[in-house]
Amino acid sequence: MPLDDILLDCEEHMEKAIEHLRHELRTVRTGRATPALVENIKVDYYGSPTELRSIASITVPEATQLLIKPFSPQDLKAIEKAINDSKIGLSPHSDGKQLRLNLPHLSQERRLQLAGQCKAFAEESKIRIRTARRDANKLVETEQKGGIITEDDSKNGKDQVQELTKTYETKVDDLIEHKKKEIMTV
């Protein structure tokens, strides 16, 4: 495998780690209502776990409120149960046709917990990035031993992989810093 392909593959894996982190951070509450808080909650829908966004519309009528309207009225109880069973810390209020979730103001203690949760997501992403680095370095070594690339190209390739790693770890740190600021100031 040529060095360019190894680097491209490594960068692709690192980009996937960043995208996963962005997805995880969307589910962290910041004081503002957003459908991302509940859209991935699994609802027992005729015996199979289905994401909430597939069986209901989720809107934000006010800055601190979510409105969930099931496409089928029979699903209301299952949705309510799934939200209560999830660990989002919100209680749904039903009027028989739809559910309302009111987001209380975050206490300082809860904000610190959420910031810690973000830090855990960041560490998970950095582990994925470092795994991509390790895999790329192994490939470079294998290609060198096989005589496909030279020793100088091998060293150059490992240096480029390390630069990619630093770049993507910086992206993780920036994303987390932005999210922590959002959590602590809203």
As a whole number of Å, the CA-based R_g of the chain is: 22
- Number of Cβ within 10 Å of residue 75's Cβ equals 19
Going by pLDDT thresholds of 50, 70 and 90, the confidence category of residue 131 is: very high
Residue 186: pLDDT over 70: no
- Number of Cβ within 10 Å of residue 29's Cβ equals 20
Q: What is the pTM of this model?
A: 0.74
For residue 104, the model assigns a pLDDT of: 80
Share of the chain above pLDDT 70, in %: 99
Measure the CA–CA gap between 58 and 173, rounded to whole angstroms: 31
**Per-residue pLDDT tens over the stretch 58-101:** 999 988 889 999 998 888 899 988 988 887 777 888 888 899 98
Residue 103: pLDDT over 80: yes
**Per-residue pLDDT tens over the stretch 7-33:** 999 999 999 999 999 988 887 877 777
For residue 19, the model assigns a pLDDT of: 95
- Number of Cβ within 10 Å of residue 17's Cβ equals 21
CB distance 63 to 52 below 8 Å? no
- Average pLDDT in the 141-163 region? 92
Going by pLDDT thresholds of 50, 70 and 90, the confidence category of residue 126 is: very high
Measure the CA–CA gap between 70 and 86, rounded to whole angstroms: 18
For residue 21, the model assigns a pLDDT of: 94
Domains defined along the chain, listed by start: 3-26+107-185 (1.10.132.20), 35-102 (3.30.1360.40)
